[in-house]
Amino acid sequence: MSIVEKVTALLYALRREDIERLPPAERRRLAYICLHVAGIAEPASRPSTPARTAGVLAALDNGERST
């Protein structure tokens, strides 16, 4: 079984109660890791992270360039 298959099985096994029992910082860390993996898996539909929702970096992420 590959590491991807193992991680996928673990994520499927997680329940809402498991996540809710995590301390807020660990919950946020898990969320960022999941977003990172989602961005790697489907780069075209990568969700933006809260830190990059506006401003110059968000514009660059969206492919915008100054003219």
pLDDT tens across 2-25, in order?
999 999 999 999 999 999 999 999
Contact call for residues 58 and 52 (beta carbons, < 8 A)? yes
Instruction: Record the pTM.
Output: 0.58
Q: Report domain extents, the chain.
A: 3-61
Question: Does 31 score more than 60 pLDDT?
Answer: yes
Q: How far apart are CA 30 and CA 33, in angstroms?
A: 5
Question: Does 55 score more than 80 pLDDT?
Answer: no
User: Among 24, 45, 49, which residue's Cα sits nearest to residue 35?
Assistant: 49
Burial classification of residue 52, based on how many CB atoms lie within 10 Å of its CB (0-12 exposed, 13-18 middle, 19 or more buried): middle
Question: Does 26 score more than 60 pLDDT?
Answer: yes
